[in-house]
Chains A and B, each alone.
Chain A
Amino acid sequence: MSHNKSIILEFWDFLKIRKKWWLLPIIIMLILVGVLIVFGQSSAISPFIYALI
């Protein structure tokens, strides 16, 4: 049995335990458009200033 949860379940736990409910609208929007987003790779696009990435 895997101890690592799926990203959705983990996010749900994260919101419940950390009580950061204000993240919910962003996460919902990300899920809605997420299937359409053409993914990028960190090494290709990430700027050298890493505090933002």
Chain B
Amino acid sequence: MYILGVSCFYHDSSAVLLKDGKIIAGAEEERFTRKKHDAGFPINAIKYCLKEAGITVKELDYVGFYEKPFLKFERLLSQHLEMFPFSYWSFYKSIPSWINEKLRIPHLMKKKLGYKGDILFIPHHLAHAASSYLVSNFNEATIMTIDGVGEWATTTYGYGKGNEIKLEKEIIFPDSVGLLYSTVTAWIGMSVNNSEYKVMGLAPYGKPTYYDKLKKVIDIKEDGSYKMDMSYFDYHYKLKMPSKKFIEEFGSIRTQKEEVNQKHKDMAASVQKITEEIYFKILNNAYKKYKCKNLCVAGGVGLNSVANGKITKNTPFKNIYIQPASSDSGTSIGVACYIYNVILGNKERFYMDNAYLGPSYSYEEIKKFLDDNEIKYKILKEEEIAKKTAKLIRDENVIGWFQGRMEWGPRALGNRSILSDATNPKMKDILNLKVKHRENFRPFAPVISKEDVHEWFDIDQDEELFMLFVYPVKKDKRKIIPSVTHVDGSGRLQTISKEQNERYYSVIKEFEKLSGVPILINTSFNIRGEPIVCNPYNAYKCMMGTGIDYLVMDRFLIKREDNLKDAWDSEKIAKD
């Protein structure tokens, strides 16, 4: 039985295919179109999924969509009815796409995909809940979903037991902690729905001096529920987030010419504190009700890895599973699994313990690409790959690492990664200068062999699969791995074992032999402002457009300096 889950038209379109309940392929559309957060119909992602399964559209048994469009339309019209006559501009901007696309999903599936069957529509927050709970290894769990907004709900909690999911309580639009975070992101002059994680990274540089002022804007109850004073916000009827009142209270919005200063850092720290307060109050309240130590989280705010890393210290939850693509792209998994397990009642659930769901390229395919483009390369023996890569890393080189199946979700997890030396104190600057050109407050993240994690981090889990949790680096280790230790002594780590990803794991162990440290910098393999690379062409282009020194693609080692005929400057076209 083949079930396709689809999410699209807002941000991060994606598609996932289940075969007899098991995820066999999944990808975000942006990786194919090279348009970050691509919201268009995910035709490329769907085609990839079908190709991976070796089927056509005709073999699909069910196709699901990640929301109830009419409910969302109802919410949208409610906004205009409430805010008439001030919302015409956003009305005019949004209505045509509703008429053309968003209210015509069955027609679109037929037109774009040739799919003549019926579409199942799963409520948005239920799709989020399913994307985490149904692929976890819990037989029962408390569930929390928390995002900007779905149809009406912005925050929910409930429980999952066996194959049942019940979301019992919700908070509805316009009250939304996700949109509060986005408003502050916009106020700090960063792009909404794209840079919230940067605000999270900025927070440790500030003090929560705006916390009390922010409490005027949002009233938080002991049970975690909250209500916002909408006079501080414009997002419910205008194409901007903070209102004039917000600006009067907190100061003007940062322009691109202005440097990020202490005021912005303090505001980041303050909104992070508010978010964590809500997070932990909701969770504590849910625990009182369900008394289950297992927790599943999903929704865009579930990507707040700083808050996630503090859950076990601030709540009774002990076992936590978070969908790696916690924002809207992950809902396509939720949709497909919800159809299989809940609607169709299939008991067997499959545990998602890795995020390698995307396309891979064979030795022959990569060789053909290199030869067709007259790219100079060396072929390594299997046993040389890890040793050679580790040596190059130790010699201060920046490595583009392209192996196996592309990751699902926003994080590079060892198949489309840039790897470099975490022990080198200059490496953050080298990476920024050569490749990433990031704001200097943003940390780089570590990958560590699973068996060593307790030696280096204060972590109460045994592994961290998807880089969704920030934990403190042990105090005596911070000076040893300065390039992955954030200003507050933390790191957003990934653990890896030999069984999970042998080549990746081997590089780390070979590096450990050279340096004594089983940790590397793992950052996403992409040009600034572009999605993570998908295919060999993207990878090669990224290396040649940046300062990446070597590209290791399967067994092929490509040196940038040997191929300068293809060099170009990616910074000329990069946009964040």
Direct contact of A and B (CB under 8 A): yes
Contact, CB under 8 Å: A40 / B100? yes
Select A47's contact among B37, B38, B93, B173, beta carbons within 8 Å.
B93
Contact, CB under 8 Å: A39 / B100? yes
8 A Cβ contacts from A1-38 to B: 2-4, 7, 10-11, 14, 18, 20, 22-23, 26, 30, 34, 37-38
- Provide the residues of chain A in CB contact with B40, threshold 8 Å: 41-43
8 A Cβ contacts from B306-348 to A: none
Q: Indicate whether A42 sits within 8 Å of B97 (C-beta atoms), given known contacts A49-B240, A51-B173.
A: yes
Contact, CB under 8 Å: A52 / B192? no
Contact, CB under 8 Å: A43 / B39? yes
Name the residue in B11, B39, B40, B235 with the highest tally of chain A Cβ atoms < 10 Å from its Cβ: B39
Q: CB of B156 within 8 A of chain A?
A: no
Select B95's contact among A4, A11, A30, A51, beta carbons within 8 Å.
A30
Contact, CB under 8 Å: B235 / A20? no
Residue in chain B with minimal CB distance to A40: B96
CA separation between A26 and B84, bound complex, in Å? 13
Q: Indicate whether A42 sits within 8 Å of B101 (C-beta atoms), given known contacts A4-B106, A11-B70, A50-B10.
A: yes
Name the residue in A2, A30, A51 with the highest tally of chain B Cβ atoms < 10 Å from its Cβ: A51
- Provide the residues of chain B in CB contact with A14, threshold 8 Å: 70, 74
Contact, CB under 8 Å: A39 / B96? yes
Contact, CB under 8 Å: A39 / B99? yes
Contact, CB under 8 Å: A2 / B118? yes
CA separation between A44 and B512, bound complex, in Å? 48
Q: Indicate whether A50 sits within 8 Å of B148 (C-beta atoms), given known contacts A11-B70, A18-B74.
A: yes
Q: How far in angstroms is the closest Cβ of chain A from B33? A: 9
Q: CB of B261 within 8 A of chain A?
A: no
Contact, CB under 8 Å: A4 / B119? yes
Q: Which of B75-83, B360-368, B464-472 contacts A (4 or more CB under 8 A)?
A: B75-83
CA separation between A7 and B186, bound complex, in Å? 36
Residue in chain A with minimal CB distance to B109: A4
CA separation between A23 and B70, bound complex, in Å? 11
CA separation between A48 and B240, bound complex, in Å? 10
- Provide the residues of chain A in CB contact with B106, threshold 8 Å: 2, 4
- Provide the residues of chain B in CB contact with A10, threshold 8 Å: 70
Residue in chain A with minimal CB distance to B235: A51
Q: CB of B444 within 8 A of chain A?
A: no
Contact, CB under 8 Å: A52 / B239? yes
- Provide the residues of chain B in CB contact with A52, threshold 8 Å: 76, 79, 90, 93-94, 235-239
Q: Indicate whether A34 sits within 8 Å of B99 (C-beta atoms), given known contacts A43-B38, A43-B39.
A: yes
CA separation between A7 and B119, bound complex, in Å? 13
Q: CB of B149 within 8 A of chain A?
A: yes
8 A Cβ contacts from B95-127 to A: 95-97, 99-104, 106, 118-119
Contact, CB under 8 Å: B9 / A42? yes
- Provide the residues of chain B in CB contact with A39, threshold 8 Å: 96-97, 99-101
CA separation between A20 and B37, bound complex, in Å? 33
CA separation between A4 and B93, bound complex, in Å? 28
Contact, CB under 8 Å: A41 / B74? no
Q: CB of B191 within 8 A of chain A?
A: yes
Q: CB of B431 within 8 A of chain A?
A: no
Contact, CB under 8 Å: A7 / B96? no
CA separation between A51 and B193, bound complex, in Å? 11
Contact, CB under 8 Å: B235 / A26? no
Residue in chain B with minimal CB distance to A14: B70
Residue in chain B with minimal CB distance to A3: B118
CA separation between A2 and B186, bound complex, in Å? 44
CA separation between A47 and B89, bound complex, in Å? 12
Q: CB of B194 within 8 A of chain A?
A: yes
Q: How far in angstroms is the closest Cβ of chain B from A49? A: 5
- Provide the residues of chain B in CB contact with A51, threshold 8 Å: 148-149, 173-174, 176, 179, 235-236
CA separation between A50 and B178, bound complex, in Å? 12
Q: How far in angstroms is the closest Cβ of chain B from A33? A: 10
* 16 CB-based A-B contacts, threshold 8 Å: A2-B118, A3-B118, A37-B96, A39-B97, A41-B97, A42-B9, A43-B35, A45-B96, A46-B39, A47-B93, A48-B11, A49-B182, A49-B235, A49-B240, A50-B10, A53-B10
Q: Which 3 A-B pairs have the closest CB atoms?
A: A39-B100, A40-B96, A43-B40
Besides the known contacts A42-B40, A52-B93, A53-B93, 19 further A-B residue pairs in the complex with CB atoms under 8 A apart: A10-B70, A23-B77, A34-B99, A37-B95, A39-B96, A39-B99, A40-B96, A43-B35, A43-B38, A46-B93, A49-B240, A50-B10, A50-B11, A50-B193, A51-B148, A51-B176, A52-B79, A52-B238, A52-B239
Q: Which residues of B contact A (CB under 8 A)?
A: 9-11, 35, 37-40, 70, 74, 76-77, 79, 81, 90, 93-97, 99-104, 106, 118-119, 148-149, 173-174, 176, 179, 182, 186, 191-194, 235-241
